[in-house]
Structure 1
C-alpha cells in the first residue's frame, strides 16, 4: 500500500478521499489554487501545495504543476477525484511516465470510453445494446434520418455539458453550433454525436469494480432520473424500477462493457431505460472514474469504494465475487449546489450563485451522511463547479430514507450563498417521487410547484421583528436615554408604528410595520416565521434562505439598472461573457439571442426583452460580470414592445434529458 497519495482535486471530493486515506493510515497531499488557499480540503490534508492562480487551466488542469507537486511531496500515487483531469488519458499516462500510480483505470481504457463514439462501437461489439444514432462528420444527416426529437452531445467529456435536446430540426444548425462551442470550451474537443431521443426515459447506472487480475463485479444500480440541465439532482440505490432479472441482466452487460475496454478500478456504466419497458435498456456511456453519487452504493453494499480504488491500484485482488455482493436497505443522495432556482419568465431554471458562507449547519444523525467541502468563510465563486456538498440518507426501506433526507435538507444552512436545498426538499416530497414514478423530464414539468416564486410574508415579518429588536437594544451597557430610542417608544401612551422598508433581490420592496408584538406586511397582519438560522441580512427556514435587505428608494432610483428600467438586460448570475452577437445600433427582435454568459460550466443565453434597437452595450467577450450588472440596453421600437424579460432565457439544452 502507498505511504503518500496526492489528491488532484478540490472541494468535497478531495475531503472525501482524504477521509479514507486517513482511515488507512496513508499520508494525504492536497493541492490548491489561490482561490482555495483557505479551503477545507487544504486544512484537512496532511500537506498542501499551491499549484497556481484561480483559473482551473492554470492550476487544477495543469498536468505539469500537479506532477511537480507530487514530486515535491514524495507522493507515490495520484487520486484524480472526479471532474478536472479524472478522465484525462494524457494525465494518466503522464503520471505513469513520472513513476506515479494513477488511482484509476489504464490510460487506454480512459481514452476509449472517453470517446463516446468509440465506446458505443466497442461495447456494441461485446453484445451490449446501444442507443441508435450517428456521428461527425455526418451529424446533420444522421439527425434528419433519425427524426426529431434528437439529442446532440459531445463525444468527449460528461456531466451533461454541451448537450442539446432538439425537438425542432429547423433549429438544428444553431444547436449544433452551441454544442460545439460548449464542448470545445469544456473539453477542448468539439466532436459531436447524435442519438435518438427516448421519451420518458429513466437514467440508471451500474457501479463496477475491477482488479488487475481479471476479476470484475458489479455493485448494483443507482437510479439517477431526477435531473436538471442534463445533470443529476437526486440519486438512489437500488432503483424501484428494476426486478431481480433486469438487475442481473444490466449488471452482466455493465461487466461486459468494463471487460471490453480492459478496465481496472471503480467505474460506472450508464444506461437509458424506457420507463414502460425496463428490459429494453441501452448503453449510453461509461464514466471511468469515481462518481459523485458513489455514497449511495457504499451505504447499501457496505463497501468503501475509495478504499478499493486504492487497494486495486496497489495491486490487490478483489476478495469477493459477484455472489458475495448484496444490497441491503435503501439510500438516497441530494446534490447541494450554489444556485438560485427561478420560475419567472425570462429567468426560468437553475442559475449559478456565489458569495461567502456566513453561517453553516450541516446535517448529521441517524442514517444521515454529509460529504462537504464547506466551512464558514468559504468563498464560492463562478470559477468552479457549483456543487458544494452531498447529503445522503440511509434507511431500511425507501420511505425511511426519503423521510430522513427531507429532514436533513430542512436542517441544512449555508447562509450567504443561495443553494437549492429547499427545492430539493420539495422535490423529494413530490407524489411522483415518493411513488417512485420517475423520469428525466419530471423536474422540468413540475418546476412551477417546486419553487417558491414569491417571498412568504412571514419571512418579511421575521425580518421586521429582527430589525425592531436591534433598534430596541441599547447602543452601550448602562443607562440609555428613552427619548433617543428609535423603536417607536412614547411616554405615557401606545407605542408608534415603526416602518421598515425591506427588499429581497429580484422582488419588489415591501413595507413592514412593527408595534410591540404586532407586525403588518404591506398592511396585513402577519406572524413572523420561526427561522432555522440568521446571519446578518440572511434568514433561513427549512432549507430555504433569503437575503433580506433594508430598502433605500433614493439609492435604488440612482442605480444603473433603475435608469435603464425595462429596457435593460442584466446578468442573471456572476460569470463571464463568452459571446456577443450584436453591436450598438443593431435592430433586434423580441427573444433574439444577444449575448452568452458562462458561469460554473453552465452557459446562459441573454435575449432581447422586446423588439428595438441596441443603444448601450457594456461588455465584450471575456468580460467578467457580477449579479444584476447591466450588460446592454434595448430601446423599444415604434412598432410596440413585446412581453418583457430581463434575465437569461434558457437554451433548449436546459431541458432535462438523457445523458
Structure 2
C-alpha cells in the first residue's frame, strides 16, 4: 500500500522537490520548519507544516525526537529525510522505525557500515571493490596519524570518517603542514558530525570524481542507472555535475557500474543510493571506491533527465514494499544533462558566504531546462544553513547542446538582493577544458587566479543613477509640496543637475570592483526618459530609463546611454540599487543614502571624483560575514605579524580565517563561541614592530 501521508524531514530546495513528487502521487505532505524558515517556500508548499525549534540546526532539523513526534502527531506513515541533516543518521532511522513509521531510505545496517568511511572501505574491499591506498584504522591519535603519513606518502588527504560533502577534508602537500591540518580536520569533523575520527588516503593525481546511482528493493534486486561526473569542485564541494561522464568508455562504464552494485549488495542495500569513486585522468580504466552516500544526492536531477526516471518516486515505491520492476535493459541513457549549483556567496571576494533578501527573481525556462529551487521574492536568507539556493539543470541530445542550454538558462536567471555565484558558473562553462570535458577535481582551483569578474561599467552606473532619480521623482509627485521636493523642480536661477555618488557595494558587502575607483558620481539633468548624464566630470551624453517588463521579469528596464540600449533588471531598495544582467548581480549604494545637489551650472563643469585611492592596511579586524567564532589564533597582548591568523569564523558550514593586516600588539574583542555580525569588530592591532 502506498503511503497516504509523508513527513519531509528537511528544508530548502530538496524539501520542495520531494513535495512535487508527493503531490503528483496524491500523497499528503508534512513540512517541518525552524524559526528561521517560518516563511520558507517549502512551508507554503506543504499540506501542513510543523514548527520544530529555533534557527540553530542542532535544535531543529537535527532534533530527531521533535521530528518523529511531529510525524506521529500529523498521522504520517513515513519520513523522507532528503539529504544532509539526519538523512544518513542510523539513530534517526532507528527512532523512526521504533515509532512505527517507515524510514524512506536504507536499512540501519547499511547506514552503520557506509556511514563510517573507515568501516565502509574495509567492508567493500572484502567484496572485491578497489579502494584507495591509505591508513584506515579507527581511533587513530594525532601521533599515529603523523607517524603513518610518511608510509602513505605525500601529497595525501586527511578525511573525517563520519559525514560527507567534503567537510573537514584537508589536502597536505608537505610534512610541515600536517599537524595544523589534522587539528583543523578534527575541529570541523567534531562540529559537523559529532565525531572527530580521521583517516589518511594517498592523493590521486589529477583525479576525477565519478559516482554511480543505484536502486535496490527489499527482494535482492539491484541495478545501476549510470554514472555522474562530479569533478568540478571547490573546497571538495561539487559545483557542476553531469551525466554521463565524458571520460568513461563502454567497458569501464560497465565495470564501475558492477562495482557499485557489488558495494550496495554487500550491505543488503534498499532504496536509492550513490557509490562514489575516484578515477585517475591518466588511467581512466582504473577506479577506486571512496564512499557510499546512503541517500538521495544533490545532483540526482541529471540522472533523472537522462533516464526519464523519478528517483523520489522510486524511493517511495521501494519503501512502500514494491519490487523493483526495472531491469538493466530498460535503463536507457538518452542525451546529456548538466547541473549547476547556485550559492549565496561572493566569488569576487574569496567566495565569502552571503546573506540578504531576494528582491527580484526570474527562474529560467525553455526546452530541456529544469530548476530545483526554494527561492521566492521577499525571502530572507540568513547564515544558519548551507548557502546552496537552487540548482539549474539542462538536458540536450549531446553534451555541447546541454552546455549551451545551461549557459543560456543561467544568463536568463535573475536573482537580485544578495551576492551569488551565477556569473562564476557561466565563466566555468566557457572554460576550454570544461567545454572539451578535460576535467579533474583541481581544475577550479587552478582557474580561479585567471578569472576576471565583471565591474560596474558606465552603463550600469547610469542605470543606477536614473533608477534613483526615478524613485525621487515618484516620491516628489506624492509629496504635498512637489515644487520644493522634486530634484528637477523650480529653482531660483538656472536648473541644476542632481548628483548621485555611488559606492560599489550592497548592504556593506563589496560585490565587485570598479576600475575607476571606489566611488562613481553621476550627474542627471532632465526627466529619466530623456535625460543628460555625466560621469565623473566627463562630457554629458543623452540617456534614458524606460520600464519594459518582460514575461516573468517585472523589474526589466531598457537603459539607453549615448545611443546604446541594454536590458537590465533593476530594484531600488532604500539607498541600494540592485542591477541584474546576463545572470550577474551587481549592487550600488547611494553615498549618505540620498541624492546630492551639485552647484555647477553645466554638466561638463562637474569635477572629477572617481580617482582610485590606494588601500591602507587597517589595524582593525572585522568579520566579513555573520557567523560564529570557532578559533582564536592569538591572545590579547600578543605581538602578531602580518598574515598571522587571529580569528577563525564559521559561517554556512565553512571556516574563514581572519589575518592581521598590520604588525603589532593584539587586543581581542571576541571569544570562542561568540556570534558575530557582518562588519563587527573582532580585534584591533596597535601598530608596532613585528616579532
Tell whether the structures are fold-level matches, with TM greater than 0.5. yes
Report the 3-state secondary structure (helix = DSSP H, G, I; strand = E; otherwise coil) of the residue aligned with 2:246: coil
1:341 aligns with 2:351: no
* Paired residues for 1:380-399 under 5 Å: 380-399=381-400
204, 211, 214: which is aligned to 2:217? 211
May I ask how many residue pairs the two structures share in their alignment? 625
Work out the CA distance in 2 between the residues paired with 1:498 and 1:98.
Answer: 68
1:412-451 CA deviation, whole Å, 9 max, x = no partner?
2222121111111121121211111111111111114445
Note closer, same or farther for the CA distance 1:312–1:423 as it changes in structure 2 (3 Å cut).
Answer: same
Q: Identify the residue that residue 567 of structure 2 maps to in structure 1.
A: 530
Note closer, same or farther for the CA distance 1:479–1:172 as it changes in structure 2 (3 Å cut).
Answer: closer
582, 594, 607: which is aligned to 1:542? 582
1:241 aligns with 2:247: yes
Residue 471 of structure 1 and its aligned partner are, at CA, apart by 3.7
Structure 2 stretches of 5 or more lacking a match?
Answer: 542-560, 595-614
Work out the CA distance in 2 between the residues paired with 1:7 and 1:293.
Answer: 19
1:271 aligns with 2:308: no
Residue 104 of structure 1 and its aligned partner are, at CA, apart by 0.3
1:113 aligns with 2:114: yes
Residue 239 of structure 1 and its aligned partner are, at CA, apart by 0.9
Report the 3-state secondary structure (helix = DSSP H, G, I; strand = E; otherwise coil) of the residue aligned with 1:219: strand
1:637 aligns with 2:688: yes
* Paired residues for 1:367-516 under 5 Å: 367-452=368-453, 454-473=455-474, 475-476=476-477, 485-487=486-488, 496-505=496-505, 506=510, 508-516=518-526
Note closer, same or farther for the CA distance 1:576–1:481 as it changes in structure 2 (3 Å cut).
Answer: closer
TM-score calculated relative to the size of structure 2: 0.87
Note closer, same or farther for the CA distance 1:509–1:478 as it changes in structure 2 (3 Å cut).
Answer: closer
Residue 307 of structure 1 and its aligned partner are, at CA, apart by 0.3
Q: Which stretch shows the higher mean deviation, 255-264 or 467-476?
A: 467-476
Structure 1 stretches of 5 or more lacking a match?
Answer: 555-562, 641-659
Q: Identify the residue that residue 288 of structure 2 maps to in structure 1.
A: 282
Work out the CA distance in 2 between the residues paired with 1:110 and 1:456.
Answer: 53
Work out the CA distance in 2 between the residues paired with 1:583 and 1:453.
Answer: 39
Residue 373 of structure 1 and its aligned partner are, at CA, apart by 1.1
Report the 3-state secondary structure (helix = DSSP H, G, I; strand = E; otherwise coil) of the residue aligned with 1:224: strand
Residue 480 of structure 1 and its aligned partner are, at CA, apart by 7.6
Q: Which stretch shows the higher mean deviation, 240-249 or 484-493?
A: 484-493
Q: Identify the residue that residue 613 of structure 1 maps to in structure 2.
A: 665
Q: Identify the residue that residue 654 of structure 2 maps to in structure 1.
A: 602
Work out the CA distance in 1 between the residues paired with 2:535 and 2:154.
Answer: 50
Report the 3-state secondary structure (helix = DSSP H, G, I; strand = E; otherwise coil) of the residue aligned with 2:441: coil
Instruction: Report the RMSD for the aligned CA atoms in angstroms.
Output: 2.3
> Is contact 1:488–1:498 with CA below 8 Å preserved after alignment?
no
* Paired residues for 1:41-440 under 5 Å: 41-135=42-136, 136-137=140-141, 138-342=144-348, 349-440=350-441
Report the 3-state secondary structure (helix = DSSP H, G, I; strand = E; otherwise coil) of the residue aligned with 2:684: strand
Work out the CA distance in 2 between the residues paired with 1:170 and 1:522.
Answer: 51
1:362-417 CA deviation, whole Å, 9 max, x = no partner?
11222111111112221211111111111111111111111111111112222212
Q: Identify the residue that residue 646 of structure 1 maps to in structure 2.
A: none
> Is contact 2:467–2:572 with CA below 8 Å preserved after alignment?
no
Work out the CA distance in 1 between the residues paired with 2:215 and 2:156.
Answer: 32
Work out the CA distance in 2 between the residues paired with 1:540 and 1:432.
Answer: 28
TM-score calculated relative to the size of structure 1: 0.91
Work out the CA distance in 2 between the residues paired with 1:431 and 1:468.
Answer: 43
Residue 478 of structure 1 and its aligned partner are, at CA, apart by 10
Report the 3-state secondary structure (helix = DSSP H, G, I; strand = E; otherwise coil) of the residue aligned with 1:532: strand
Work out the CA distance in 1 between the residues paired with 2:71 and 2:521.
Answer: 58
Report the 3-state secondary structure (helix = DSSP H, G, I; strand = E; otherwise coil) of the residue aligned with 2:303: helix
Note closer, same or farther for the CA distance 1:451–1:86 as it changes in structure 2 (3 Å cut).
Answer: farther
1:493-545 CA deviation, whole Å, 9 max, x = no partner?
7x644321111233522222334544333345784853134242222111111
Residue 491 of structure 1 and its aligned partner are, at CA, apart by 8.9
Report the 3-state secondary structure (helix = DSSP H, G, I; strand = E; otherwise coil) of the residue aligned with 2:258: helix
Residue 170 of structure 1 and its aligned partner are, at CA, apart by 0.4
